[in-house]
């Protein structure tokens, strides 16, 4: 291909860039370190008619076994930096949220504590409207910068159409920077909150496993009677259920674990079975929270 920008690599494996460690390669892959580099890549992809996919920490991502027919981008350098200016923290879209939460604590800034348990990036968290322990991203988000082939523009939180695990960002729109407006606080007290949150998490969720966290969204359906997706899966007999190398975790039934060289197809089959069982038992159609990169064929039985 002519005029391929510097640093673009062909046929790059993606499994290692996801927390569940499944899936194939990207046709093209790049790690831009600055905003001009990123926009140049997006322009190239636009001109060549190449699809663009973003990989943050890959903590809510399932890559198709056949890989991604397009340009997969992982933000690096400046685009993954964490800086402070007064009571604001500026993160590159690729900055890790737990690192930002820990740095903010060290700077005596409060408001980002919820990020300590979300193993994603600032960009992935904005895209997914990530949340934990009642800390709302939108409450502390000041603005984001969104890069496309047309350049970079600033958007305010109220323009992002946030709802449960959703924003209105379209594919190809890259969160290249985010500013968080925090409150001054006592570093020791903020660190103590982080330690408590980590401990709560250790008790509630499995650690050290290959997973993408919550598989399904908690349903907004009165038949659930307030139960979470995990509780519904558990009640439908899915805890520990296996398909190939994938299983629903024994500790948290909404977590899929790659326990033995699973493929993404194994994960999809397991998801379809969990969804089918919950539908059969409660009449509820669970919707995936996990995002898919590449073309997958949903197993037969997915459409209920
Ligand atoms: C153990 C574990 C615990 C978890 N706990 C929580 C939790 O408590 N709360 C919660 O909300 N989530 C949780 N998650 C899920 C996940 O961490 C969040 O959804 C996180 O926000 C995803 O960020 P990421 O950078 O990993 O995004 P990825 O998984 O890499 O990507 C997710 C989506 O965001 C897009 N994306 C990524 N970066 C950008 C960017 N810069 N610009 C535009 N789009 C982008 C991707 O293309 C994809 O569509 C957990 C996951 C795990 C593995």
* Span from the CA of 160 to the centroid of ligand 1 (angstroms): 16
**Is residue 289 annotated as part of the catalytic site, yes or no?**
yes
* Span from the CA of 189 to the centroid of ligand 1 (angstroms): 27
Instruction: With H, G, I as helix, E, B as strand and everything else as coil, classify residue 11.
Output: strand
Q: How far is CA 35 from the centre of its chain?
A: 21
Angle at 51 between CA 48 and CA 56, to 5 degrees: 130
Which atom belonging to ligand 1 lies closest to the Cα atom of 146? 42
How high is the pLDDT of residue 49? 97
pTM: 0.96
* Span from the CA of 2 to the centroid of ligand 1 (angstroms): 33
| Token pair in block for residue 110 | 């409060």
Give 16's strand partners.
Answer: none
Give yes or no for residue 135 CB within 6 A of ligand 1: no
* Span from the CA of 159 to the centroid of ligand 1 (angstroms): 20
d(CA 237, CA 235): 5
**Is residue 214 annotated as part of the catalytic site, yes or no?**
yes
Other beta carbons within 10 angstroms of residue 259's beta carbon come to 15
**Is residue 88 annotated as part of the catalytic site, yes or no?**
no
Give yes or no for residue 294 CB within 6 A of ligand 1: no
d(CA 301, CA 26): 28
**Which of the residues 214, 257, 273, 277 is marked catalytic?**
214
Would you give the DSSP letter of residue 157?
Answer: G
Cβ-proximal residues to 230 (8 Å cutoff; 6+ apart), any chain: 214, 252, 253, 254, 255
How high is the pLDDT of residue 111? 95
How high is the pLDDT of residue 140? 95
* Span from the CA of 1 to the centroid of ligand 1 (angstroms): 32
| Token pair in block for residue 247 | 């299983």
Give yes or no for residue 59 CB within 6 A of ligand 1: yes
Nearest residue (by CA) to ligand 1, atom 1, is 213
Query: Which domains, and CATH codes, for the chain?
Result: 9-77 (3.30.43.10), 78-203 (3.30.465.10), 222-293 (3.90.78.10)
Angle at 142 between CA 220 and CA 162, to 5 degrees: 20
Which atom belonging to ligand 1 lies closest to the Cα atom of 55? 30
Which atom belonging to ligand 1 lies closest to the Cα atom of 174? 42
d(CA 61, CA 39): 23
Which residues of the chain are under the pLDDT cut of 50? Answer: none
How high is the pLDDT of residue 1? 62
**Which of the residues 88, 165, 242, 276 is marked catalytic?**
165
**What does the pLDDT look like over 254-276, one tens digit per residue?**
999 999 999 999 999 999 999 99
How high is the pLDDT of residue 293? 98
Q: What are the Cα distances from residue 28, in Å, to 67, 162, 261?
A: 10, 30, 24
């Amino acid at each position: 291909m002519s005029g391929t920008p510097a640093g673009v690599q062909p046929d790059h494996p993606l499994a290692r860039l996801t927390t569940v460690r499944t899936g194939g390669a990207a046709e093209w892959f790049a790690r831009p370190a600055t905003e001009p580099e990123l926009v140049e890549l997006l322009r190239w992809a636009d001109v060549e008619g190449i699809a663009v996919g973003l990989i943050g920490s890959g903590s809510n991502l399932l890559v198709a076994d056949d890989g991604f027919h397009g340009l997969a981008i992982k933000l690096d350098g400046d685009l993954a930096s964490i800086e402070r200016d007064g009571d604001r923290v500026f993160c590159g879209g690729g900055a890790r949220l737990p690192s930002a939460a820990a740095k903010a604590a060290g700077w005596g800034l409060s408001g980002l504590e919820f990020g300590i348990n979300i193993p994603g990036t600032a960009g992935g968290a904005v895209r997914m409207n990530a949340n934990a322990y009642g800390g709302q991203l939108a409450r502390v988000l000041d603005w984001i910068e969104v890069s496309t082939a047309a350049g970079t523009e600033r958007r305010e939180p109220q323009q992002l159409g946030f709802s449960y695990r959703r924003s209105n960002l379209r594919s190809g729109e890259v969160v290249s920077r985010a500013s968080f407006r925090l409150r001054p606080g006592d570093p020791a007290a903020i660190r103590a909150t982080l330690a408590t949150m980590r401990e709560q998490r250790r008790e509630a969720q499995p650690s050290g496993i290959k997973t993408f966290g919550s598989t399904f969204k908690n349903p907004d359906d009165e038949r659930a009677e307030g139960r979470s997706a995990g509780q519904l899966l558990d009640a439908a007999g899915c805890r520990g259920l296996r398909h190939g190398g994938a299983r629903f975790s024994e500790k948290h039934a909404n977590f899929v674990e790659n326990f033995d060289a699973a493929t993404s197809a194994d994960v999809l089959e397991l998801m379809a079975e969990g969804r089918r069982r919950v539908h059969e038992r409660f009449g509820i159609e669970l919707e995936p929270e996990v995002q898919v990169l590449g073309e997958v064929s949903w197993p037969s039985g997915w459409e209920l």
